[in-house]
Amino acid sequence: MSWTLVIVLALGAYAFKVTGLVILGGRTLPAVVERCLALIPAAVVTALIVKDTFTTGQDLALDARAAGIAVAVVAAWRKAPLIVVIVLGAAVTALLRHV
């Protein structure tokens, strides 16, 4: 991994935080922009979940991770705390790899 990534990501991430909190301050964005920005985590994080669960590189894969994440989804649905969801997802995946 390059330092360029570390530095650009650090500056970029801080720039977003400062823009919202310090520069724009109490001002409001156009409603349509706020609605779209608010949907970024749902769209992008879901894609990341799919990526880390069902792919290896550019290939689709169905392996122990799918079972681990299925259990994590059930735990999240049952409103389990964050730590329980993470540990269950990891533990189920690890266990299936050992059987």
Q: Which residues 24-83 are close enough to bind other proteins by CB under 8 A?
A: 24-29, 32, 34-55, 57-60, 64-65, 68-69, 72-73, 75-77, 80-83
- Name the 3-class secondary structure at 42: helix
Cα–Cα distance for residue pair 75/45, rounded to 1 Å: 18
- Min separation Cβ 8 and other proteins, Å: 6
Contacts of 65 (CB under 8 A, 6+ apart): 52, 53, 54, 93
Residue 69 · residue 53 · CB < 8 Å: yes
**Contacting other proteins (CB under 8 A), which of 30, 62, 88, 99?**
88
- Min separation Cβ 2 and other proteins, Å: 6
- Min separation Cβ 98 and other proteins, Å: 9
